[in-house]
Homo-oligomer: A and B are copies of this chain.
Amino acid sequence: MYIPTMATLATPVLDDLICFDLYAASRRVTAAYRPILGELGLTYPQYLVLVVLGAHDEIPIKDVGRELRLDHATLSPLLRRLERDGLVTRHRSPDDERAVLVSLTEAGRSVHERFGDVHCRIADALGITQEQATQLRGLLRALTVS
């Protein structure tokens, strides 16, 4: 039985806002990554980009954006910084001059090889069980896809 609270009748307070829990949890997790990724000289979005690049040989910027659901205007300067730091290379596709293909450099590949360790340390830091993670993922994906 659902009993309406004040929140459904009047203006919501912070405690009624599931969106806030999501927003706060996301920032909390990013903050947990910060010191660990800091050792590698990476930010959290940069880490995600390198995770994507690690799974491909060469990939157009557009596809990186599609996987991460990030805008080109976010990725463009981010990739420029990764190139400046020597972790990725960018060059025009010979097949389609509009496309810029991105790939890991040797140095980028080395950094990527340390991500297994990062993954384990984060799992420890967050103290979430395998079961909780699976359940959470299901709920989050329902939100993201809808």
Contact = CB atoms under 8 A, between A and B. Distances in A.
Contact of A113 (B11, B24, B127, B143): B11
A13 B57 CA distance: 14
Give the interface SS of chain A, mostly helix, strand, loop or mixed. Answer: helix
Interface string A25-62: 11111100100000000001000100110110000000
A142 B20 CA distance: 14
A75 B32 CA distance: 21
A8 to B, nearest CB: 8
Contacts of A10: 116
Contact of A22 (B16, B22, B67): B22
A25 B115 contact: no
The residue in A23, A128, A146 that gathers the most chain B C-beta atoms within 10 A of its C-beta is A23
A13 B135 contact: no
Contact of A14 (B48, B136, B146): B48
